[in-house]
Amino acid sequence: MEQTDLLVVGELNVDILLDQVKGFPVVGQEILADKMLLTLGSSSAIFASNISALGSSASFCGALGNDLFGKFILRELQSKRVDTRFILESNEHQTGITMILNYDQDRANVTYGGAMNHFSINDIPLHALHQFRHLHVSSYFLQSALRADITNLFAAAKTVGLSTSLDLQWDPANQWEFPSEECLPYVDFFLPNEKELLCLTGQSDVEDAIDRLSGFANIIVVKKGINGATAYSDNGVLHSDAYINSHFVDAIGAGDSFNAGFINGFLNGHELSECLRLGNLAGAINTTAAGGTTAFANITSVKQTAKQIFNLDFSSL
């Protein structure tokens, strides 16, 4: 059987984006927004959708409700050629939703978990892991039923020869309880952003945070927004500058698109330095359109954006 490039395990929700918001919410008061967009949300789904648009074959495993938002998510993923046969549709729980208030290059989010709160390792086709080359997991803290078995999941993937990557994302409870020492030895690419890394390790400096994890982590890739991205491994430190552009719309999903560009590069045999550049370029392309997936309609549109805005050949980096 021909292998699929990767299995993405993660949360599923829609995003409702409110732009040009006039002020900040205050209890008992009402504010206005001038723009609204309903789009495919969740870090994991944005990653799967965009890496598929870049040319990798992807399957998704997660849970959503048997409702309108759930049907919308399935259609969006399938339109990007993401295999959805491992997605569970619940009649008991609703599809998750995130309400996003955009403020320039920052935002405020409110998320309702719904079905993804009940998604566990029992819902993951461990017997079929050998059909894939790579496992990617995102949003650990939003998947409460999966947390206790996160190490078992990655260990199972490594046992059958998969490469692996993990992006914890933000912890809404701000507790940052993750079994780093047990799990990270099974993770080839750990992909936090700078703030998440500092919170996870309880450090105030990135170098100190890296030192805290270096005894058991493999390659740590730290996303730094407009300051680019840095990879830390046994072979040393590599940095790649960000691609700054004047066509910025919003930063929703930029980190997930970085992950997509980076892992797509890895799956296509690029060196680590090239994967960093591909990640930064994918993240920058993401910011040129609203939401996490709009800029990634297909590989042709991605290459056009790279050429027109950044004067770069996406495939050559």
Name the residue among 157, 147, 317 with its Cα closest to residue 243: 317
In a domain, 317, yes or no: no
Q: The whole model's pTM is what?
A: 0.93
Distance CA 138, CA 295 (A): 21
243, 139, 232, 271 alpha-carbon torsion, rounded to 10°? -60
CATH code, domain with 130: 3.40.1190.20
CA 160 to chain centre: 23
What is the extent of the structural domain holding 183? 4-310
pLDDT of the chain, 317 residues: tens digit per residue? 578 999 999 999 998 989 888 888 889 999 899 999 898 989 999 999 999 999 999 999 999 999 999 999 999 999 999 999 999 999 999 999 999 898 876 778 888 999 999 999 999 999 999 999 999 999 999 999 999 999 999 999 999 999 999 999 999 999 999 999 999 999 999 999 999 999 999 999 999 999 999 999 999 999 999 999 999 999 999 999 999 888 888 888 899 999 999 999 999 999 999 999 999 999 999 999 988 899 998 999 999 999 999 998 876 55
| Consecutive H or E run containing 159 | helix 150-159
Distance CA 49, CA 79 (A): 9
Split into its structural domains, the chain has a count of: 1
In a domain, 315, yes or no: no
In a domain, 275, yes or no: yes
| Consecutive H or E run containing 281 | helix 272-286
